[in-house]
A and B are shown apart, each in its own frame.
Chain A
Amino acid sequence: MINNEEITTNGSIFPLGWLDSLRVFFIEVGEISRFTLRFFKEVFIPRYEFKALVKQSYIIGYKSLPLIAITGLIIGLVLTIQARPTMAQFGAESWIPSMVSISIIREMGPVMVAVIFAGKVGSGIGAELASMKVTEQIDAMEVSGINPFKYLVVTRVMATTLMLPMLVTAADAISLVGAYVGVNLKGSISFHLFFLQVFSNLSFSDVIPAIIKTFFFGFSIGIVSCYKGYNANRGTEGVGEAANSAVVIGSLLVFIIDMIAVQLTSLIY
Protein backbone atom coordinates (compact mmCIF):
# COMPACT_ATOMS: atom_id res chain seq x y z
CA MET A 1 0.00 0.00 0.00
CA ILE A 2 1.41 3.37 -0.97
CA ASN A 3 -0.31 6.16 0.90
CA ASN A 4 -3.78 6.38 -0.62
CA GLU A 5 -3.00 4.11 -3.55
CA GLU A 6 -2.70 0.38 -4.06
CA ILE A 7 -0.66 -1.44 -6.71
CA THR A 8 -2.60 -4.24 -8.37
CA THR A 9 -1.07 -7.48 -9.71
CA ASN A 10 -0.60 -6.06 -13.24
CA GLY A 11 1.28 -3.10 -11.85
CA SER A 12 -1.36 -0.43 -12.43
CA ILE A 13 -2.18 1.90 -9.59
CA PHE A 14 -5.72 2.58 -8.36
CA PRO A 15 -6.70 4.93 -5.59
CA LEU A 16 -7.36 2.83 -2.49
CA GLY A 17 -10.56 4.76 -1.80
CA TRP A 18 -12.02 3.60 -5.09
CA LEU A 19 -11.18 -0.04 -4.42
CA ASP A 20 -12.42 0.20 -0.88
CA SER A 21 -15.67 1.76 -2.05
CA LEU A 22 -16.17 -1.06 -4.53
CA ARG A 23 -15.45 -3.66 -1.86
CA VAL A 24 -17.82 -1.96 0.59
CA PHE A 25 -20.48 -1.78 -2.14
CA PHE A 26 -20.32 -5.52 -2.84
CA ILE A 27 -20.31 -6.35 0.89
CA GLU A 28 -23.36 -4.13 1.32
CA VAL A 29 -25.17 -5.79 -1.61
CA GLY A 30 -24.37 -9.18 -0.08
CA GLU A 31 -25.63 -8.13 3.33
CA ILE A 32 -28.86 -6.67 1.95
CA SER A 33 -29.42 -9.89 -0.02
CA ARG A 34 -28.92 -11.93 3.14
CA PHE A 35 -31.30 -9.64 5.00
CA THR A 36 -33.87 -10.10 2.21
CA LEU A 37 -33.50 -13.89 2.34
CA ARG A 38 -34.03 -13.77 6.09
CA PHE A 39 -37.21 -11.77 5.48
CA PHE A 40 -38.59 -14.48 3.17
CA LYS A 41 -37.65 -17.13 5.70
CA GLU A 42 -39.29 -15.34 8.62
CA VAL A 43 -42.42 -14.16 6.82
CA PHE A 44 -43.82 -17.67 6.47
CA ILE A 45 -42.94 -18.97 9.94
CA PRO A 46 -45.46 -18.39 12.76
CA ARG A 47 -45.97 -16.41 14.86
CA TYR A 48 -47.65 -13.94 12.49
CA GLU A 49 -47.66 -10.38 13.79
CA PHE A 50 -51.05 -9.30 12.39
CA LYS A 51 -51.65 -6.66 15.04
CA ALA A 52 -48.29 -5.04 14.41
CA LEU A 53 -48.86 -5.29 10.65
CA VAL A 54 -52.19 -3.45 10.93
CA LYS A 55 -50.56 -0.79 13.11
CA GLN A 56 -47.70 -0.32 10.66
CA SER A 57 -50.10 -0.25 7.70
CA TYR A 58 -52.03 2.52 9.43
CA ILE A 59 -48.86 4.52 10.15
CA ILE A 60 -47.21 3.89 6.79
CA GLY A 61 -50.31 3.97 4.60
CA TYR A 62 -53.06 6.06 6.12
CA LYS A 63 -50.77 8.68 7.64
CA SER A 64 -48.99 9.17 4.31
CA LEU A 65 -52.25 9.75 2.47
CA PRO A 66 -52.52 13.56 2.91
CA LEU A 67 -48.99 14.14 1.56
CA ILE A 68 -49.54 11.73 -1.31
CA ALA A 69 -52.93 13.30 -2.10
CA ILE A 70 -51.55 16.84 -2.25
CA THR A 71 -48.61 15.68 -4.37
CA GLY A 72 -50.92 13.76 -6.68
CA LEU A 73 -53.21 16.74 -7.17
CA ILE A 74 -50.26 19.00 -7.99
CA ILE A 75 -48.73 16.48 -10.42
CA GLY A 76 -52.00 16.27 -12.37
CA LEU A 77 -52.48 20.01 -12.35
CA VAL A 78 -48.93 20.95 -13.35
CA LEU A 79 -48.62 18.25 -15.99
CA THR A 80 -51.78 19.53 -17.67
CA ILE A 81 -50.77 23.19 -17.49
CA GLN A 82 -47.30 22.39 -18.87
CA ALA A 83 -48.63 20.15 -21.64
CA ARG A 84 -51.31 22.54 -22.89
CA PRO A 85 -49.10 25.06 -24.89
CA THR A 86 -47.26 22.30 -26.78
CA MET A 87 -50.46 20.36 -27.47
CA ALA A 88 -52.14 23.57 -28.59
CA GLN A 89 -49.39 24.17 -31.18
CA PHE A 90 -50.39 20.92 -32.85
CA GLY A 91 -54.10 21.53 -32.36
CA ALA A 92 -54.25 18.50 -30.12
CA GLU A 93 -55.76 20.02 -27.00
CA SER A 94 -58.49 17.44 -27.06
CA TRP A 95 -55.83 14.79 -26.50
CA ILE A 96 -54.70 16.31 -23.20
CA PRO A 97 -56.90 14.09 -20.97
CA SER A 98 -55.64 10.93 -22.65
CA MET A 99 -52.02 12.00 -22.71
CA VAL A 100 -52.01 13.18 -19.11
CA SER A 101 -53.79 10.09 -17.82
CA ILE A 102 -51.39 7.70 -19.56
CA SER A 103 -48.37 9.67 -18.27
CA ILE A 104 -49.72 9.68 -14.75
CA ILE A 105 -50.84 6.09 -14.56
CA ARG A 106 -47.88 4.53 -16.35
CA GLU A 107 -45.00 6.55 -14.96
CA MET A 108 -45.51 9.80 -13.09
CA GLY A 109 -47.86 8.49 -10.43
CA PRO A 110 -45.95 5.34 -9.43
CA VAL A 111 -42.47 6.89 -9.59
CA MET A 112 -43.28 10.23 -7.95
CA VAL A 113 -45.29 8.65 -5.17
CA ALA A 114 -42.61 6.00 -4.59
CA VAL A 115 -39.87 8.64 -4.33
CA ILE A 116 -41.95 10.70 -1.89
CA PHE A 117 -42.75 7.49 0.00
CA ALA A 118 -39.04 6.67 0.21
CA GLY A 119 -38.44 10.13 1.64
CA LYS A 120 -41.23 10.08 4.19
CA VAL A 121 -41.60 6.44 5.17
CA GLY A 122 -38.09 5.18 4.36
CA SER A 123 -36.39 7.84 6.47
CA GLY A 124 -38.91 7.26 9.27
CA ILE A 125 -38.31 3.52 9.37
CA GLY A 126 -34.55 3.93 9.08
CA ALA A 127 -34.40 6.47 11.91
CA GLU A 128 -36.85 4.60 14.16
CA LEU A 129 -35.10 1.24 13.92
CA ALA A 130 -31.65 2.82 14.20
CA SER A 131 -32.77 4.69 17.29
CA MET A 132 -34.14 1.45 18.76
CA LYS A 133 -30.84 -0.24 17.95
CA VAL A 134 -28.62 2.36 19.59
CA THR A 135 -30.80 2.58 22.70
CA GLU A 136 -30.70 -1.24 23.06
CA GLN A 137 -34.47 -1.63 22.56
CA ILE A 138 -33.88 -4.29 19.88
CA ASP A 139 -31.52 -6.12 22.26
CA ALA A 140 -34.18 -5.88 24.97
CA MET A 141 -36.68 -7.64 22.68
CA GLU A 142 -34.15 -10.32 21.85
CA VAL A 143 -33.27 -11.11 25.46
CA SER A 144 -36.93 -11.37 26.39
CA GLY A 145 -37.25 -14.19 23.86
CA ILE A 146 -39.12 -12.15 21.21
CA ASN A 147 -37.94 -12.24 17.62
CA PRO A 148 -37.26 -8.55 16.85
CA PHE A 149 -36.74 -9.24 13.16
CA LYS A 150 -40.24 -10.63 12.82
CA TYR A 151 -41.86 -7.96 14.96
CA LEU A 152 -40.01 -4.95 13.57
CA VAL A 153 -38.75 -5.82 10.08
CA VAL A 154 -41.28 -8.27 8.65
CA THR A 155 -44.26 -6.11 9.63
CA ARG A 156 -42.75 -2.93 8.21
CA VAL A 157 -41.65 -4.50 4.92
CA MET A 158 -45.08 -6.12 4.52
CA ALA A 159 -46.74 -2.79 5.26
CA THR A 160 -44.64 -0.82 2.75
CA THR A 161 -45.20 -3.53 0.11
CA LEU A 162 -48.97 -3.53 0.59
CA MET A 163 -49.53 0.17 1.21
CA LEU A 164 -47.55 1.73 -1.64
CA PRO A 165 -49.76 0.25 -4.40
CA MET A 166 -52.83 1.58 -2.57
CA LEU A 167 -51.28 5.00 -2.18
CA VAL A 168 -50.28 5.06 -5.84
CA THR A 169 -53.81 4.12 -6.87
CA ALA A 170 -55.20 6.90 -4.71
CA ALA A 171 -52.62 9.37 -6.00
CA ASP A 172 -53.42 8.43 -9.62
CA ALA A 173 -57.11 9.08 -9.03
CA ILE A 174 -56.43 12.42 -7.34
CA SER A 175 -53.96 13.35 -10.10
CA LEU A 176 -56.67 12.85 -12.68
CA VAL A 177 -58.91 15.20 -10.72
CA GLY A 178 -55.98 17.66 -10.69
CA ALA A 179 -55.66 17.22 -14.44
CA TYR A 180 -59.39 17.91 -14.85
CA VAL A 181 -58.97 21.15 -12.89
CA GLY A 182 -55.91 22.02 -15.00
CA VAL A 183 -57.79 21.49 -18.25
CA ASN A 184 -60.61 23.69 -17.02
CA LEU A 185 -58.31 26.57 -16.06
CA LYS A 186 -58.00 27.64 -19.70
CA GLY A 187 -60.75 25.66 -21.30
CA SER A 188 -64.02 24.03 -20.60
CA ILE A 189 -64.72 20.35 -20.46
CA SER A 190 -67.31 18.51 -18.42
CA PHE A 191 -66.27 16.06 -15.72
CA HIS A 192 -68.05 13.29 -17.60
CA LEU A 193 -66.40 14.02 -20.95
CA PHE A 194 -62.97 14.41 -19.37
CA PHE A 195 -63.10 10.99 -17.74
CA LEU A 196 -64.67 9.44 -20.82
CA GLN A 197 -61.60 10.56 -22.77
CA VAL A 198 -59.29 9.39 -19.98
CA PHE A 199 -60.70 5.87 -19.85
CA SER A 200 -61.27 5.43 -23.56
CA ASN A 201 -57.53 5.48 -24.11
CA LEU A 202 -56.48 3.55 -21.02
CA SER A 203 -56.08 -0.20 -21.18
CA PHE A 204 -55.19 -2.90 -18.69
CA SER A 205 -51.70 -2.98 -20.19
CA ASP A 206 -51.27 0.59 -18.90
CA VAL A 207 -52.67 -0.03 -15.45
CA ILE A 208 -51.61 -3.55 -14.42
CA PRO A 209 -47.83 -3.33 -15.01
CA ALA A 210 -47.81 0.09 -13.33
CA ILE A 211 -49.50 -1.30 -10.24
CA ILE A 212 -47.37 -4.47 -10.16
CA LYS A 213 -44.13 -2.49 -10.14
CA THR A 214 -45.30 -0.48 -7.13
CA PHE A 215 -45.27 -3.69 -5.04
CA PHE A 216 -41.57 -3.99 -5.89
CA PHE A 217 -41.02 -0.30 -5.13
CA GLY A 218 -42.66 -0.71 -1.74
CA PHE A 219 -40.77 -3.89 -0.97
CA SER A 220 -37.38 -2.44 -1.87
CA ILE A 221 -38.01 0.75 0.12
CA GLY A 222 -39.09 -1.32 3.13
CA ILE A 223 -36.16 -3.74 2.95
CA VAL A 224 -33.51 -1.05 2.51
CA SER A 225 -34.92 1.17 5.27
CA CYS A 226 -35.20 -1.72 7.70
CA TYR A 227 -31.74 -3.00 6.80
CA LYS A 228 -30.17 0.41 7.36
CA GLY A 229 -31.99 0.95 10.65
CA TYR A 230 -31.60 -2.57 11.99
CA ASN A 231 -27.85 -2.56 11.33
CA ALA A 232 -27.13 0.99 12.42
CA ASN A 233 -23.87 1.65 14.19
CA ARG A 234 -23.92 2.86 17.74
CA GLY A 235 -24.54 6.51 18.43
CA THR A 236 -26.77 9.29 17.18
CA GLU A 237 -24.62 9.72 14.08
CA GLY A 238 -25.68 6.23 13.06
CA VAL A 239 -29.36 7.21 13.33
CA GLY A 240 -28.93 10.13 10.93
CA GLU A 241 -26.86 8.05 8.56
CA ALA A 242 -29.43 5.24 8.56
CA ALA A 243 -32.26 7.66 7.76
CA ASN A 244 -30.25 9.37 5.06
CA SER A 245 -29.01 6.24 3.32
CA ALA A 246 -32.47 4.65 3.53
CA VAL A 247 -33.85 7.54 1.46
CA VAL A 248 -30.95 7.69 -0.99
CA ILE A 249 -30.76 3.95 -1.69
CA GLY A 250 -34.54 3.55 -1.59
CA SER A 251 -35.07 6.30 -4.18
CA LEU A 252 -32.29 4.96 -6.37
CA LEU A 253 -33.80 1.48 -6.28
CA VAL A 254 -37.16 2.91 -7.35
CA PHE A 255 -35.60 4.26 -10.55
CA ILE A 256 -33.63 1.07 -11.18
CA ILE A 257 -36.71 -1.12 -10.71
CA ASP A 258 -38.72 1.27 -12.88
CA MET A 259 -36.17 0.98 -15.67
CA ILE A 260 -36.28 -2.83 -15.50
CA ALA A 261 -40.09 -2.80 -15.31
CA VAL A 262 -40.37 -0.58 -18.40
CA GLN A 263 -38.09 -2.94 -20.35
CA LEU A 264 -40.05 -6.00 -19.25
CA THR A 265 -43.39 -4.35 -20.00
CA SER A 266 -42.29 -3.38 -23.49
CA LEU A 267 -41.22 -6.98 -24.10
CA ILE A 268 -44.53 -8.42 -22.92
CA TYR A 269 -46.96 -5.91 -24.48
Chain B
Amino acid sequence: MGIPLVEIEHLSKSFGSNRVLEDINLQLDPGENLVVFGKSGSGKSVLIKCLVGLMQPDGGCVKLFGEDIARLKTAELNVLRKKVGFLFQSAALYDSMTVRENLEFPLRDMKARSIADVEGLVKESLRNVGLEEAIDKMPSELSGGMIKRVGLARTLIMKPEIILYDEPTTGLDPITSREISQLIVDIQKKYNTAAIIITHDVACAKITSNRMLIIKDGVINATGTYAELSVSENEWIHSFFI
Protein backbone atom coordinates (compact mmCIF):
# COMPACT_ATOMS: atom_id res chain seq x y z
CA MET B 1 0.00 0.00 0.00
CA GLY B 2 1.33 3.50 -0.91
CA ILE B 3 1.43 6.58 1.26
CA PRO B 4 -1.83 7.44 3.01
CA LEU B 5 -3.94 10.02 1.21
CA VAL B 6 -4.74 11.73 4.49
CA GLU B 7 -2.74 11.68 7.70
CA ILE B 8 -3.82 13.57 10.78
CA GLU B 9 -1.52 13.61 13.79
CA HIS B 10 -2.34 14.97 17.23
CA LEU B 11 -4.89 17.44 15.88
CA SER B 12 -6.55 19.74 18.38
CA LYS B 13 -8.99 22.59 17.94
CA SER B 14 -10.77 24.87 20.41
CA PHE B 15 -13.29 27.67 20.11
CA GLY B 16 -12.55 29.91 23.07
CA SER B 17 -12.63 27.72 26.14
CA ASN B 18 -14.57 25.00 24.32
CA ARG B 19 -12.17 22.23 23.30
CA VAL B 20 -13.76 20.64 20.22
CA LEU B 21 -11.04 18.23 19.08
CA GLU B 22 -8.22 16.79 21.13
CA ASP B 23 -5.27 14.67 20.01
CA ILE B 24 -6.98 13.27 16.92
CA ASN B 25 -4.95 10.79 14.87
CA LEU B 26 -6.26 9.19 11.72
CA GLN B 27 -5.18 7.92 8.37
CA LEU B 28 -7.06 7.40 5.11
CA ASP B 29 -5.73 4.87 2.63
CA PRO B 30 -6.44 4.79 -1.12
CA GLY B 31 -9.81 3.26 -2.00
CA GLU B 32 -11.01 3.31 1.60
CA ASN B 33 -14.31 4.65 2.94
CA LEU B 34 -13.71 5.88 6.46
CA VAL B 35 -16.77 6.81 8.48
CA VAL B 36 -16.31 9.30 11.30
CA PHE B 37 -19.24 8.69 13.57
CA GLY B 38 -20.53 10.49 16.63
CA LYS B 39 -23.23 12.57 18.21
CA SER B 40 -24.05 16.03 16.93
CA GLY B 41 -21.61 18.61 18.22
CA SER B 42 -18.82 16.11 18.81
CA GLY B 43 -16.45 17.93 16.42
CA LYS B 44 -16.80 15.72 13.33
CA SER B 45 -17.44 18.56 10.86
CA VAL B 46 -14.66 20.66 12.37
CA LEU B 47 -12.33 17.75 11.69
CA ILE B 48 -12.90 17.71 7.92
CA LYS B 49 -12.87 21.51 7.74
CA CYS B 50 -9.40 21.43 9.30
CA LEU B 51 -8.48 18.82 6.72
CA VAL B 52 -9.02 21.15 3.74
CA GLY B 53 -7.79 24.31 5.44
CA LEU B 54 -11.21 25.89 5.96
CA MET B 55 -10.35 26.03 9.67
CA GLN B 56 -6.91 26.30 11.18
CA PRO B 57 -6.15 23.71 13.89
CA ASP B 58 -4.63 24.89 17.15
CA GLY B 59 -2.15 22.05 17.18
CA GLY B 60 -1.10 18.93 15.34
CA CYS B 61 -0.41 18.19 11.73
CA VAL B 62 -2.65 17.57 8.70
CA LYS B 63 -1.08 15.92 5.67
CA LEU B 64 -2.86 15.66 2.32
CA PHE B 65 -1.16 13.41 -0.22
CA GLY B 66 1.89 13.43 2.06
CA GLU B 67 2.13 17.24 2.26
CA ASP B 68 1.67 19.20 5.46
CA ILE B 69 -1.03 21.72 4.49
CA ALA B 70 0.11 24.23 7.12
CA ARG B 71 3.38 24.67 5.19
CA LEU B 72 1.72 25.24 1.83
CA LYS B 73 1.04 28.60 0.21
CA THR B 74 -2.57 29.28 -0.79
CA ALA B 75 -1.86 28.54 -4.45
CA GLU B 76 -0.21 25.22 -3.56
CA LEU B 77 -3.05 24.31 -1.23
CA ASN B 78 -5.55 25.12 -4.00
CA VAL B 79 -3.80 22.61 -6.27
CA LEU B 80 -4.31 19.92 -3.62
CA ARG B 81 -7.88 21.05 -2.98
CA LYS B 82 -8.72 20.30 -6.59
CA LYS B 83 -7.96 16.65 -5.85
CA VAL B 84 -10.32 16.67 -2.88
CA GLY B 85 -14.09 16.81 -3.27
CA PHE B 86 -16.21 18.20 -0.45
CA LEU B 87 -19.92 17.56 -0.14
CA PHE B 88 -21.29 20.01 2.41
CA GLN B 89 -24.14 19.16 4.74
CA SER B 90 -26.40 21.61 2.89
CA ALA B 91 -24.69 20.74 -0.44
CA ALA B 92 -23.86 24.50 -0.66
CA LEU B 93 -25.08 24.88 -4.24
CA TYR B 94 -24.60 28.40 -5.60
CA ASP B 95 -28.20 29.52 -5.53
CA SER B 96 -27.81 32.25 -8.14
CA MET B 97 -26.66 29.67 -10.72
CA THR B 98 -28.42 26.87 -12.55
CA VAL B 99 -27.40 23.24 -12.00
CA ARG B 100 -25.32 23.41 -15.20
CA GLU B 101 -23.51 26.56 -14.03
CA ASN B 102 -22.96 25.04 -10.59
CA LEU B 103 -21.22 22.08 -12.20
CA GLU B 104 -19.25 24.18 -14.68
CA PHE B 105 -18.00 26.53 -11.98
CA PRO B 106 -15.20 24.34 -10.55
CA LEU B 107 -13.93 23.70 -14.11
CA ARG B 108 -13.41 27.37 -14.95
CA ASP B 109 -9.67 27.31 -14.25
CA MET B 110 -9.10 24.46 -16.69
CA LYS B 111 -8.38 26.53 -19.77
CA ALA B 112 -7.48 23.58 -21.96
CA ARG B 113 -11.00 22.19 -21.84
CA SER B 114 -13.25 22.97 -24.78
CA ILE B 115 -16.93 23.83 -24.42
CA ALA B 116 -17.80 20.34 -25.65
CA ASP B 117 -15.51 18.77 -23.01
CA VAL B 118 -17.15 20.79 -20.26
CA GLU B 119 -20.63 19.92 -21.52
CA GLY B 120 -19.64 16.25 -21.60
CA LEU B 121 -18.26 16.34 -18.06
CA VAL B 122 -21.36 18.09 -16.75
CA LYS B 123 -23.65 15.53 -18.34
CA GLU B 124 -21.51 12.62 -17.19
CA SER B 125 -21.52 13.88 -13.60
CA LEU B 126 -25.27 14.35 -13.63
CA ARG B 127 -25.74 10.90 -15.19
CA ASN B 128 -23.70 9.41 -12.32
CA VAL B 129 -26.21 10.77 -9.82
CA GLY B 130 -29.25 10.13 -12.03
CA LEU B 131 -30.21 13.77 -12.53
CA GLU B 132 -29.59 14.59 -16.19
CA GLU B 133 -33.04 16.14 -16.53
CA ALA B 134 -32.30 18.76 -13.85
CA ILE B 135 -29.48 20.39 -15.82
CA ASP B 136 -31.20 23.72 -16.42
CA LYS B 137 -33.03 23.96 -13.12
CA MET B 138 -32.24 26.40 -10.34
CA PRO B 139 -31.32 24.95 -6.91
CA SER B 140 -34.56 26.40 -5.48
CA GLU B 141 -36.52 24.11 -7.82
CA LEU B 142 -34.90 20.93 -6.46
CA SER B 143 -35.91 18.67 -3.56
CA GLY B 144 -33.55 17.96 -0.65
CA GLY B 145 -32.41 14.65 -2.14
CA MET B 146 -31.86 16.20 -5.56
CA ILE B 147 -29.82 19.02 -4.02
CA LYS B 148 -27.56 16.45 -2.34
CA ARG B 149 -27.19 14.59 -5.64
CA VAL B 150 -26.32 17.77 -7.55
CA GLY B 151 -23.83 18.62 -4.80
CA LEU B 152 -22.32 15.20 -5.26
CA ALA B 153 -22.23 15.66 -9.05
CA ARG B 154 -20.40 18.97 -8.57
CA THR B 155 -17.93 17.21 -6.30
CA LEU B 156 -17.41 14.41 -8.83
CA ILE B 157 -16.84 16.66 -11.83
CA MET B 158 -13.27 17.37 -10.74
CA LYS B 159 -12.58 13.61 -10.57
CA PRO B 160 -11.26 13.88 -7.01
CA GLU B 161 -9.09 11.25 -5.40
CA ILE B 162 -10.63 11.89 -2.00
CA ILE B 163 -14.22 12.87 -1.24
CA LEU B 164 -15.22 14.35 2.09
CA TYR B 165 -18.88 13.94 2.92
CA ASP B 166 -20.29 16.13 5.70
CA GLU B 167 -23.50 14.48 6.95
CA PRO B 168 -24.59 13.31 3.48
CA THR B 169 -27.93 11.92 4.64
CA THR B 170 -28.98 14.53 7.18
CA GLY B 171 -32.48 15.87 6.61
CA LEU B 172 -33.43 13.17 4.11
CA ASP B 173 -36.11 10.49 4.39
CA PRO B 174 -34.90 6.89 4.98
CA ILE B 175 -35.38 5.84 1.34
CA THR B 176 -33.49 8.81 -0.09
CA SER B 177 -30.83 8.38 2.63
CA ARG B 178 -30.33 4.80 1.53
CA GLU B 179 -30.09 5.88 -2.12
CA ILE B 180 -27.46 8.52 -1.30
CA SER B 181 -25.50 6.02 0.83
CA GLN B 182 -25.58 3.49 -2.01
CA LEU B 183 -24.48 6.21 -4.43
CA ILE B 184 -21.44 6.89 -2.23
CA VAL B 185 -20.49 3.21 -2.45
CA ASP B 186 -21.10 3.11 -6.22
CA ILE B 187 -18.88 6.15 -6.73
CA GLN B 188 -16.13 4.61 -4.65
CA LYS B 189 -16.24 1.47 -6.79
CA LYS B 190 -16.52 3.29 -10.13
CA TYR B 191 -13.78 5.88 -9.59
CA ASN B 192 -11.75 4.10 -6.89
CA THR B 193 -11.95 7.19 -4.68
CA ALA B 194 -11.25 7.28 -0.99
CA ALA B 195 -13.72 9.01 1.28
CA ILE B 196 -14.17 10.35 4.76
CA ILE B 197 -17.85 10.29 5.64
CA ILE B 198 -18.99 12.33 8.61
CA THR B 199 -22.31 11.05 9.87
CA HIS B 200 -24.47 10.20 12.83
CA ASP B 201 -26.72 8.00 10.66
CA VAL B 202 -26.14 4.33 11.53
CA ALA B 203 -27.76 3.09 8.31
CA CYS B 204 -25.46 5.30 6.23
CA ALA B 205 -22.43 4.11 8.20
CA LYS B 206 -23.44 0.49 7.69
CA ILE B 207 -23.77 0.86 3.92
CA THR B 208 -20.75 3.07 3.24
CA SER B 209 -18.04 2.22 5.74
CA ASN B 210 -14.95 0.06 5.34
CA ARG B 211 -13.72 1.34 8.70
CA MET B 212 -15.23 3.55 11.39
CA LEU B 213 -14.00 6.01 14.01
CA ILE B 214 -16.27 7.08 16.81
CA ILE B 215 -15.68 10.54 18.27
CA LYS B 216 -16.88 11.43 21.73
CA ASP B 217 -16.31 14.90 23.18
CA GLY B 218 -13.62 15.64 20.61
CA VAL B 219 -11.61 12.47 21.25
CA ILE B 220 -11.50 9.29 19.20
CA ASN B 221 -13.33 6.85 21.43
CA ALA B 222 -13.28 3.71 19.31
CA THR B 223 -12.16 2.40 15.94
CA GLY B 224 -13.07 -0.70 13.98
CA THR B 225 -15.35 -2.01 11.28
CA TYR B 226 -19.11 -1.61 11.46
CA ALA B 227 -19.45 -5.27 12.35
CA GLU B 228 -16.96 -4.96 15.20
CA LEU B 229 -18.36 -1.77 16.68
CA SER B 230 -21.98 -2.84 16.43
CA VAL B 231 -21.31 -5.66 18.89
CA SER B 232 -19.15 -3.55 21.21
CA GLU B 233 -19.55 -4.24 24.88
CA ASN B 234 -19.12 -0.55 25.62
CA GLU B 235 -22.61 0.60 26.53
CA TRP B 236 -22.21 4.08 25.01
CA ILE B 237 -20.98 2.73 21.66
CA HIS B 238 -23.55 -0.04 21.62
CA SER B 239 -26.34 2.51 22.18
CA PHE B 240 -25.76 3.90 18.63
CA PHE B 241 -26.47 0.55 17.02
CA ILE B 242 -29.63 -0.44 18.87
In chain A, positions 143-161 with a C-beta closer than 8 Å to chain B are: 143-147
Binary contact track B81-125/A, C-beta < 8 Å → 1, others 0: 110101011101111100000000110110000000000000000
In chain B, positions 42-94 with a C-beta closer than 8 Å to chain A are: 49, 52, 54, 74, 78-79, 81-82, 84, 86, 88-90, 92-94
- Tell me, yes or no, whether B158 is within 8 Å of chain A by CB: yes
Binary contact track B124-165/A, C-beta < 8 Å → 1, others 0: 000000000000000000000000000000000010000000
Q: Which of A132, A135, A147 has the most CB of B within 10 A?
A: A135
The 4 residue pairs across chains A and B that have the minimum distance between CB atoms: A140-B92, A145-B78, A136-B92, A144-B106
Pick the contact of A144: B82, B89, B95, B96 (CB < 8 A): B82
Do the beta carbons of B88 and A139 come within 8 Å of each other? yes
- Tell me, yes or no, whether A5 is within 8 Å of chain B by CB: no
- Tell me, yes or no, whether A47 is within 8 Å of chain B by CB: yes
Pick the contact of B92: A47, A137, A146 (CB < 8 A): A137
CA–CA, A142 and B53, complex, Å: 9
Do the beta carbons of B79 and A145 come within 8 Å of each other? yes
Q: Which residues of A contact B93 (CB under 8 A)?
A: 137
Interface residues on B, range: 20 to 34
Interface of B is mostly: loop
Q: Which partner residue on chain B sits nearest A55 by CB separation?
A: B96
CA–CA, A128 and B94, complex, Å: 11
Residue ranges of A at the interface with B (Cβ–Cβ < 8 Å): 47, 128, 132, 135-137, 139-147
Q: Which partner residue on chain B sits nearest A140 by CB separation?
A: B92
A-B contact pairs, 19 of them (CB 8 A): A132-B94, A136-B88, A137-B94, A139-B54, A139-B88, A140-B92, A140-B94, A142-B54, A143-B52, A143-B54, A143-B86, A144-B86, A144-B158, A145-B78, A145-B79, A145-B82, A145-B109, A147-B74, A147-B78
Closest approach, in angstroms, between the C-beta of B24 and any C-beta of chain A?
A: 20
Do the beta carbons of B105 and A136 come within 8 Å of each other? no
Q: Which residues of B contact A139 (CB under 8 A)?
A: 49, 54, 88, 92
Do the beta carbons of B54 and A146 come within 8 Å of each other? no
CA–CA, A258 and B84, complex, Å: 48
Q: Which residues of B contact A140 (CB under 8 A)?
A: 86, 88, 92, 94
Q: Which residues of B contact A146 (CB under 8 A)?
A: 78, 105-106, 108-109
Closest approach, in angstroms, between the C-beta of B204 and any C-beta of chain A?
A: 20
Q: Which residues of B contact A47 (CB under 8 A)?
A: 109
Closest approach, in angstroms, between the C-beta of A21 and any C-beta of chain B?
A: 21
Closest approach, in angstroms, between the C-beta of A6 and any C-beta of chain B?
A: 21
Q: Which of A141, A145, A146 has the most CB of B within 10 A?
A: A145
